[in-house]
Chain A
């Protein structure tokens, strides 16, 4: 189920003087099963773009096509894409509301009008996927630890079995172990459940490690659309957008500048290790 943005434009503020274009004529097509990393400075329009893709706000002009269908067309029922496009907001644990973990995860499937057995089997599966132990299914979600809450909230979205999963900084505020858990989970959802992933992150290291393709948004426009290796070759351009390089790439650039003849396209520790060994041995 490919998702396409077609000349997507969104303008904030009704007052003519205060108008700001948050998303400016973005056209991009994302194929099934891709792991997309979406990067951009705070305020670049990333979050607005995600909300447009999920059909939560209506564009000023342009549209989003899911499976070739225009989701903002007049007679299109937006409710019908809720089970297809899932979105995990920043700090998703803030949307938990049910008495128990299990009930909360059932909320989405219930809204899809599924049978009871189907709802429960989906909730079970989703909670298993995010690694929540059955022993805490009947606990209040508010009694859990920060990392657990976050995983329950994500389960609440994946229980709807979306084909496309959008995540807005799902690791914000977590400690390293929690971050690793969430990113591993997202990676599994892409590789094993064959979901299309659109991941927003401020960590260049994370997108370098996990994404197949990176979209760079700057000032509401799609500035770069390429593989991680290509994207992080644009050091100056990224810096002008207020973005940096992955730590490893930055180090390689530094080595090259001080006269060590390494290629600077390494984006992971292993790649850098091999490249340095190649040069100095």
Chain B
């Protein structure tokens, strides 16, 4: 079964003037339909204003569709009785590492979600330790979040969602405010969660190089899904991606330029290793 299914999803913001009269309507999401298989690693790529963050907020029922429907593990996100159940099924991690940690101590923050679910105290302990261990943050369990690096803070946030035992984790630009080391840390953690724990990952980002391990990529532009496919299918459309204001990884770009110069290498190169292998045959 599909863990996430969106059908003809439309979301509109109403712009209001100072008196509160409606001035105009902005369509942030424009007729989006997509399906995500359980256990997949999905990336949603897009520039600012492409609607990707608005879309993400629908998967956790923080926003509900203006038109169309979103199902999370078969539950309609408009169904208010299912609200808590949806939020437990599809956990959410946000961009700013400081503004989503509630606890003053790491382990208390991780416990926050399960506490809201009313999990008995004995099981809380287990869940918290298990989540912290999975994210490699066990040794920081008694520390203040303020002492951690950006990447560590995001791992705490992911642990906080993991402790709710979700089937799917949606991450809304979790790396945008991190340094390169922190970004790597978070992406590595997500891949492990996906491969080892089998949790569905939906990563929203504007960094293309973070998406090369995805099972599937959706590229959003102006509220619509502009492209979808595997990384290899997506990355070869260099010109089109540039049109959507995305930044092509330098390796892919280099290979693309070589190809244009008539060098016989594969259409889409994702890593230096692939580039080396392709060129070795030519020397």
Whether chains A and B associate is yes
Interface residues of A (CB under 8 A from B): 41-43, 145-147, 172-180, 202-203, 205, 242, 244, 246-248, 250-251, 254-255, 257-261, 269, 272-273, 276-277, 279-280
| Residues A246 and B279 in contact in the complex (CB < 8 Å), given A42-B179, A42-B181, A173-B177 | no
Beta-carbon contact of A177 and B47 below 8 Å: yes
| Residues A146 and B48 in contact in the complex (CB < 8 Å), given A260-B280, A280-B279 | yes
Chain B contacts of A242 at CB under 8 A?
A: 181
Beta-carbon contact of B48 and A173 below 8 Å: no
- Total A-B pairs, Cβ < 8 A: 92
Query: B22 in the interface, Cβ–Cβ < 8 Å?
Result: no
B 232-283 contacts with A by CB, 8 A: 245-247, 249-251, 253-254, 257-258, 261, 263, 272-273, 275-277, 279-280, 282-283
| Residues A251 and B272 in contact in the complex (CB < 8 Å), given A205-B250, A280-B283 | yes
Q: Which of B48, B95, B176, B279 contacts A276 (CB 8 A)?
A: B279
Chain B contacts of A248 at CB under 8 A?
A: 250-251, 254
B144 shortest CB reach to chain A, Å: 15
- Closest chain B residue to A259, Cβ basis: B280
| Residues A273 and B180 in contact in the complex (CB < 8 Å), given A251-B272, A254-B273, A280-B283 | no
Beta-carbon contact of B48 and A175 below 8 Å: yes
Beta-carbon contact of A251 and B245 below 8 Å: no
Beta-carbon contact of A280 and B263 below 8 Å: yes
Beta-carbon contact of B254 and A272 below 8 Å: yes
| Residues A176 and B283 in contact in the complex (CB < 8 Å), given A146-B48, A247-B251 | no
| Residues A176 and B47 in contact in the complex (CB < 8 Å), given A273-B261, A277-B261 | yes
Beta-carbon contact of A260 and B250 below 8 Å: no
Beta-carbon contact of A273 and B246 below 8 Å: no
Chain A contacts of B176 at CB under 8 A?
A: 173
Chain A contacts of B167 at CB under 8 A?
A: none
Q: For the complex, what is the distance from the CA of A164 to the CA of B149, rounded to whole Å?
A: 30
Interface pairs (25), CB distance under 8 Å: A42-B182, A147-B48, A173-B176, A175-B206, A175-B245, A176-B206, A176-B247, A177-B48, A177-B245, A242-B181, A244-B180, A248-B250, A254-B272, A254-B273, A257-B276, A259-B280, A260-B283, A269-B250, A269-B253, A269-B254, A269-B257, A273-B258, A276-B258, A276-B279, A280-B282
B 127-180 contacts with A by CB, 8 A: 149-150, 176-177, 179-180
Interface residues on B, range: 20 to 34
Chain B contacts of A178 at CB under 8 A?
A: 48
Query: B49 in the interface, Cβ–Cβ < 8 Å?
Result: yes
Q: For the complex, what is the distance from the CA of A259 to the CA of B282, rounded to whole Å?
A: 11
Beta-carbon contact of A250 and B272 below 8 Å: yes
The 8 A-B pairs with the shortest beta carbon distances in the complex, nearest first, are A176-B247, A247-B250, A254-B272, A258-B276, A251-B272, A177-B245, A175-B48, A175-B206
Q: For the complex, what is the distance from the CA of A279 to the CA of B279, rounded to whole Å?
A: 10
B274 shortest CB reach to chain A, Å: 10
Chain B contacts of A269 at CB under 8 A?
A: 250, 253-254, 257
Beta-carbon contact of A273 and B275 below 8 Å: no
Chain B contacts of A260 at CB under 8 A?
A: 276, 279-280, 283
A142 shortest CB reach to chain B, Å: 14
- Closest chain B residue to A204, Cβ basis: B180
A168 shortest CB reach to chain B, Å: 12
Chain B contacts of A147 at CB under 8 A?
A: 48
- Closest chain A residue to B180, Cβ basis: A202
Chain B contacts of A244 at CB under 8 A?
A: 180
B45 shortest CB reach to chain A, Å: 10
- Of B176, B179, B253, most buried by chain A (CB within 10 Å of CB) is B179
B81 shortest CB reach to chain A, Å: 36
B43 shortest CB reach to chain A, Å: 15
Chain B contacts of A261 at CB under 8 A?
A: 283
**What 11 additional pairs, Cβ within 8 angstroms, besides A175-B47, A202-B180, A258-B277?**
A145-B49, A172-B177, A173-B176, A174-B48, A177-B245, A247-B251, A248-B250, A251-B250, A273-B257, A279-B283, A280-B279
